[in-house]
Each structure stands twice: as C-alpha cells, then as structure tokens.
Structure 1
C-alpha cells in the first residue's frame, strides 16, 4: 500500500470524529473486523454484517423478519415430493465494476449460482481450498449428503435435486453462507495466479460495493447505483470498527456514529435518558452456553457434566452480568422459537448434590480443568471474562479448579472448533428462524465434523430425532420431534446453558427505518438519514 493510501486509511476514523458527517453518510460503530470477504467460510455476525451488503442470495429474508422472499431468483418451483427446487434467476442483475483488477463483461447468471455451490461442495473444485477449505455452515447443515445434484438448466435457471426432503432448505439458502460471487471474476483471478483476491477485494451484486478496508479501523462502502433492487437511500456506508462498548456509546452520543451494537448493560439507563437516542428492543434469537468437550475426560461422563451444571449459580450470573438484558436459558433454543419445550426443567443449583454426583463419578475431591472465555462481547454474552470468574468461584466450592483461558477471537473460535478446550464458552444467534439451525447445526453429529458442535457430542438418540425432523414438512410433527430432542439434551447435558440475551440496539433519532433483524444482523439497505 502506498504511504498516502495508508495515511488516508488510518486517518478516516479521526476525520469522521472531527468533522460533520457528509450528506447521506451512515456510520455504524461495529464491534470488530470481518474475518475476510467470503461468507462461505465465516461463522460470525461481524463478518456476515459486512458480506450481506456486498453479495446477494438466491432467496432473501424479508427486512426485519423470517419470511423467505425472492432474491436473485424472482420465482421458484418445488416438486410435489419436495426433492426438486427449480430457481428462475432474474435478468439484468449487474456486478460491481469498481475493482481495479477486473471489470465484469456480463450480468449475473446461472454460472455464478453454480460457482457458489460447487466451491463449497466439490473437493476437486479449484476454489475449494482457497482462503480456507472449512465451509462450516455448508457442512454443519449436512449439505454434502443432502444434495444429489445441482444443474444449470439454462443461463437463468438452476435446478437443485435433494436426496431427501429438507424442510428448512429455502431458509438455509437465504443465509449468508450462500452469498453469490462472480464466477467470471474467479476465473480471471485463477488465471492470473491470485485466486485469493476474490475473497479480499470482493465483487458482488449487492446494494453496496467495498471502497476501503483497514483492519481494526474501518470498512467503507458506497451505494451501488445499478443495484437491481434500486439504489440505496444512503450514499456512503461506513463501519467504524470500535471494539469497546463504552467507546461505541461515547461515539453515538456525539453523533460520530448512528447505530451501535451490543451496549453495556450498565450504560442502558443513561442511553434511555438521551433525547437523541432510541433503543430498539426485541427478544433475542440466541443462546449463550458453556460447552463440555465430551471427547475428553472427565467430560465424557454425563454425571460430571450434570454435577457441574448443578454447581454453577446461573441466576447469579444472569443478575450480575446481563442485568435486565437476559433471561436464564434452560434449552438450547430460545423460548420465542416454535417447538420450545416448556416442560423441560433446568438443573437446580445444588452444591451438595453436585459434590455427591462428582463422588459417584470417581471425583470426590474434584479435578483440574480449563475454562475458556471469549475475549470479545457477543450478542449472547456481554462479558465472558466476568462470567468465567463467577463460574470459577462456584466450581471451586465442589473441588473443581478451573483455569481461565482466552485467545484472540479468530484463534479462539478456531481452537474451539478443533476441540482443544475442556470447557469453553460460546453462543449462537439463529440464522433462519428454524429450530434445525440450533439443534442440528450446533448439536448434530454432522456438526462434530465441521466443528460447530464444539461439545463434540454425537449422541444417536438425539441425532436421529433432529435428522428426522429435517425431512418432515408438517410443522406440528417437527415440533414434537424437536420437543423430544430437548428432553434428551437436558438429560445428557453437553452444555451448561447460560442465557438468552435481549437484542438491544441504540440508534440515533435521525436514522429512518432501521429494522432489527431477528438474526442479529445489521443491514442498512432501505435505511435513510433524516435531514440529510
């Protein structure tokens, strides 16, 4: 990078802080840097928030809801047996043309849809290993076994044939992993010997195109004037990367950013009193949890897992850390989700019963273990380090000595997926409003292989239920299967379920029509700025 460009990249946040915001510029104080610009290998909302502005999907979710709507496919047909999905791709969809290395010569077509799927599915595909071969979502959802074939019928028609019916299939295609890249760009970069550029200098067909990225500082977008859905109402979109929640709040107060995620619970009273700020609120489609690595002793013994569940004071954690922004979690899915089993009872906080169970399991004096805590604030966990300290103190009362460990966020997730931990905190925000996205994606046997089941818990009675539920179209039947699965989950205790966090979004009052996403995403297409 030239010195002048580097200087500009570093100075942009300071400039935004010092000068009035330009007309139609919206600044979002994001919590972190994206992992890269290829959603097929990412798992964090931080990365998805960036990618969803750049790429389009075959189908979308309605703004602020879970209903599947047309995207790149203007319509689709589903066969009577539920095995064949034929998508009719809209014509005239333009790719971004601002990249200095490549200019598109054609509109988006079926080849680009094929590229998106085959890159994640076919191990001999030239892009399968580019940037990373870890296609977490594709694998966790069992896509390799589900897909029988994907065919280009003609330039604007793609047919998916499944090996078995899959109730959440359309919803799954609306998720970020299925963002469509340009095959023409990919071919050109492969020929040039720089295939990784498609994930570093992205070209999509989405409502915004990337102008500048400086890690840990800024992501700058401009509205794409030729976007098929119509140009965005704002001209410039800036993600000012601000990891500290208190700093985000200070910037919001000063008008240096318009929207911020994940406020500190302790700041909420002050936020409610600020006349320039509105706090949008809705129940969170999420869960925070502590997973036990069931492949490692002593956590391969269900008695040990149950004992630790009884030894930790969940109410104290929620009261101390979440304050009014969370509710204690019993099940692995949130209470607002269909199929939630209200009859499941949580493990009671009972230190003496925990000691007794540990003794039965052969650990009358406890044991030593690690306890991993995320280094960052997440939508499902406002302060993992503080929670780890409370857990550590509780576990000491039953003789369990837990050493708190943490790593840089990217490294933390990588190591958790690899199963390096004994006990580790993580969480999940739903992607599509379907229980499958929690119960199979996080706890199914397929998900052990992909790493998203970080308890590494492959339990056949549970897995049989959630796999069967995927293939049933009737929601009542599916709900009964998921209800049974939650009973087994609680009996087997692969997690200590911590809390479901309320989604809270402080927004400045000049922001028009920003909608909360049930999936915790931050999307600015359709948003305007008042008085600009």
Structure 2
C-alpha cells in the first residue's frame, strides 16, 4: 500500500527541496510603482478569469474572492445563511418578501434598489443555466427597500440560492458589458484587469459596510502549485489556498514565517455501490473494508475523512456508519459461500469474486481508486479498475460498474437538498446504482417544501442514514481547504469552508 502511494504521490506533487530557499522580500510590496507604505496583499490564483461578469458560468466565485461582488445573503463559517445586502427575508407560501439593507450602496454611490436586484436575478437566470429558475419567478417591487419573489410553488431553499456568488448584485446601468468593467458593492473595486492574467483591486472608498483595512490586492495567475510555493518562499506573494500536502509539510516546519489553516470544505469524494450487480452482503462487506481514515492519512492532509456527505458541524451532518471491520467483511462473504483460493482471493463455484471499479482521474480519484483496490485485495476481493474521461457520459449514464467513484460539491449553499436530490431521488443522475426506498422518496419530497430549518436537518439526516445503512453509497472524504499566509496576514476567509470567499473589509496584514 505504501509503495503504491509513494509512486502516486511522487508523480503528483513536487517536493519542497526542489524549490530552493526563500529570500526576505518585504510583505505587501505595492505593484506598478504604487507607494510602498500601502497595504497591498499579493495572492496567487489558479484560475484565469476571462470576464468580470459575475453571472456567467462560475465567474462570480472569483469576483467574490477578489472582494468586488456581494450577494443578498452570505454563508458564514458555520455554513449558515446570514443577511448581507438583504436585511431580512420571509416566506408566505410560495411568496418571499425580501427587504434590502438600507445602507447598501454600489461603489459609485448609487443605492441598491429592489428594481436593480430584480434585474440582476433575471439576467443571471438568462445567461446561467444553473439559475434558470430565476427566469420563471414573478417579481414585484413593494417599496423603496422591499420586493417579493413568487416562486410558484413553496421553495424553502431560495435564500440559499441567493447566497450563491453567481447571483451577485451589480449596477447594470454603469458596468458596461461587464467584460472588463464592473460596478458592484464589495469592499474593493477593480483597478486593473488583464483577462487571463493579473488582476488588481483597490479599496472601495464608498463601501457601505465599513472601510476596508487593506489598500488593495493583486491576484497573480499561477496555475501550477509549485509556482505558488516558490513565489511565497521568495516573498513575491503573501497567501494562497489549495496548498499541496508537500508544501503544507514545509510550511509547518517554518512557524516563524507561515500560518497554515486546514479545514474540511464542501467537495466530497464518494462511491456508488451498484445494487443491480452487487448483493447486500457484498455491498456491506465493501463498506466494512474501505477505511476512510487510512485513505485520509495516505492523502497526507489534503482530505478529511467523513461519515456522510456533509461536514459534521452542519446540523444536517449528524449521521453514523460502522467502523472498518475486515473480520466482519470476511464473515459476510463466507456466509455467501465464498472461500479463499491459493491466490488470496475469494471464489465460489470456481469463479473468483471480481468487481469492476470505474473512476475518472481528476480530484485525486485515481489515487482513491488505487487505494480502494488495495484495501479490497487485502480482504480477498479482486478489483478491476477502469478509468474514463467523462464519467457523466459513460459509467454514470450507463450504470456499467460495480463501484463508481465520483466527486462533487455536496454542500452547495448551506442546505442538504441539492446533494440529496442529485444522488438519492428516483431518476436522479447520480442515483445510478439501483437504490430504491419508498420512505426515502417521501422524505425527499417533504424536504423539498419543508420550511422549518430543524425539520429539514432531521429529514436530511434520516435520508442519508438510510442510504448508509442500506450500503447504497460510501462517503469517503471531504477535500480540505488549505490556506497558507505569511505571519501577520489575517482574515482571508481561511476558516470558511466555501471556496468563493477570500478578501473582505476585515482582511489585514501587519
């Protein structure tokens, strides 16, 4: 097992010794001739932003990271929706009443109005298919600060949707086509934008929610993790996220220079057990064999083992699963009539117990596949691996697998419905392993319209617990959000599990 991981990790990560020593370039050096006494934080980003339009695709994630755009609601560090540009929201059946924060202004001094918010939501729905439902709603302005959204049917997840960074509120009258210019509400404004390259922001001097502590920030496009490592070692940047395990190990050795923050985030590694091809005993034996804790250890801090699809701090993340038990797994297989052959594999009627594990190579699933193959081999199950480029167009669509690996964001915006509906509802795209449970379907239907937060959590926990107990899925690990900062840098959303936050008015540096 360790030898396999040494090869896998050796090809995926550069070791710290390759990068050399760092120099003593001062933190916060200003770009392009700006005064050196200004507080300018320098950051590396692995994504090349091509347009500033926050409503298009996932662009809003990055304008949010830059501290330029804001939404009506915000996800806090505990994955709870909190008001931001909105002051409050309440529902009466399918009609939501939303009151805006009276202090909210755009960076040009114009107020955020109900009419402008409605225009933003409609535009986002028109150009971003993931929010196309916003083109179907009925909107009405009530007064200077209040408007309503009629969703047609009861939809309790609306404020969670409104916290999505793609639904940022911009001044559509003064942002042009939003490709290279953007007037929004955040604590920073774009001062220089190079599509596919460096982006600079400066303090929004008219920020409605308090003066930003920084004068500005520079985001450099660095797609390779090794480049970011070298840049921070050389004093050319001050912070970045998505730190590799090798780099993290080096930072831990230099506590006098760096602060490393690691928290479980929202992107989940999981597998689907195909009930159409595996009986209950084999599925349970598989789940009793896969050791998430060992996998997390071998992946060296880049993931955190998980029991269910949601973080344990969430009210809807309170589920349990049996601990790995190889002896119990073997007993289940032997109870089905399997015996160990001379090669160490179980067989019955002269046929080796062999299962087909399908995966794709992104998000460390190639490493996970190799680890699972090795763990199942140790218990006596032969595993054949198949790597596909497009899982949605192959094994997810066809069901041609015994175990199917997948990775997706499980907690999209502080509510469990999205993931549950995608993976456990009848006919859902990732319920492709034959899971059927009438009681679960009734609970999912109830979850769709339940407005009480505590009841929603209770329903979600019941649904996920059933999927675990019936060995329909195996939830392995949540990717960690790993942030490194030079000592003295603080407030870069390092404790927030969502990837789309970084700069805020509270971001600071000594």
State the TM-score, normalizing by the size of structure 1. Answer: 0.70
**1:173-196 deviations in Å (ceiling 9; x for gaps):** 22323212344368x7xxxxxxxx
Shift of 1:207: 2.5
Shift of 1:159: 0.9
Which residue of 199, 213, 220 corresponds with 1:240?
220
Shift of 1:161: 3.0
Counterpart of 2:106?
A: 94
Counterpart of 1:194?
A: none
3-state SS of paired residue (1:290): strand
Which residue of 351, 358, 381 corresponds with 1:398?
381
Shift of 1:490: 1.5
**1:217-241 deviations in Å (ceiling 9; x for gaps):** 4333233333323443223322223
Which residue of 118, 123, 128 corresponds with 1:119?
123
Write the distance in 1 (CA, Å) between the matches of 2:24 and 2:399. Answer: 44
1:497 aligns with 2:471: no
Counterpart of 2:33?
A: none
Shift of 1:499: 1.4
Unaligned stretches of 5+ residues in structure 2: 1-22, 31-37, 339-345
Counterpart of 2:40?
A: 25
Shift of 1:302: 7.5
Shift of 1:353: 4.8
* Distance change in 2, residues 1:475/1:522 (3 Å): closer
Contact 1:306 1:347 in 2 (8 A): no
Contact 1:311 1:351 in 2 (8 A): no
Number of matched residues? 456
Counterpart of 1:57?
A: 71
Counterpart of 1:134?
A: 129
Counterpart of 1:151?
A: 140
Which residue of 204, 216, 234 corresponds with 2:184?
204
Write the distance in 2 (CA, Å) between the matches of 1:480 and 1:457. Answer: 24
Flag the structure with higher helix content: 1
1:388 aligns with 2:369: yes
1:371 aligns with 2:355: no
Larger radius of gyration: 2
1:525 aligns with 2:504: yes
3-state SS of paired residue (2:299): helix
Contact 1:373 1:388 in 2 (8 A): no
Contact 1:182 1:203 in 2 (8 A): yes
Counterpart of 2:150?
A: 161
Shift of 1:79: 5.3
Contact 1:511 1:527 in 2 (8 A): no
Shift of 1:261: 1.3
Which residue of 300, 305, 311 corresponds with 1:328?
305
Shift of 1:30: 2.5
**1:107-506 matches, cutoff 5 A:** 107-121=111-125, 128=126, 130=127, 133-135=128-130, 138=131, 149-154=138-143, 156-163=145-152, 165-184=154-173, 197-198=177-178, 202-210=182-190, 211-215=192-196, 217-274=197-254, 275-282=256-263, 284-292=264-272, 309=287, 312-323=290-301, 326-345=303-322, 350=329, 353=332, 366=354, 368=356, 370-374=358-362, 383-394=364-375, 398-406=381-389, 419=397, 423-428=404-409, 430-436=411-417, 438-440=419-421, 442-443=422-423, 445=425, 448=428, 453=430, 461-493=439-471, 495-506=473-484
State the TM-score, normalizing by the size of structure 2. Answer: 0.72
Write the distance in 2 (CA, Å) between the matches of 1:500 and 1:278. Answer: 22
Write the distance in 2 (CA, Å) between the matches of 1:259 and 1:426. Answer: 26
Shift of 1:390: 2.2
Unaligned stretches of 5+ residues in structure 1: 1-16, 98-105, 122-127, 189-196, 377-382, 407-411
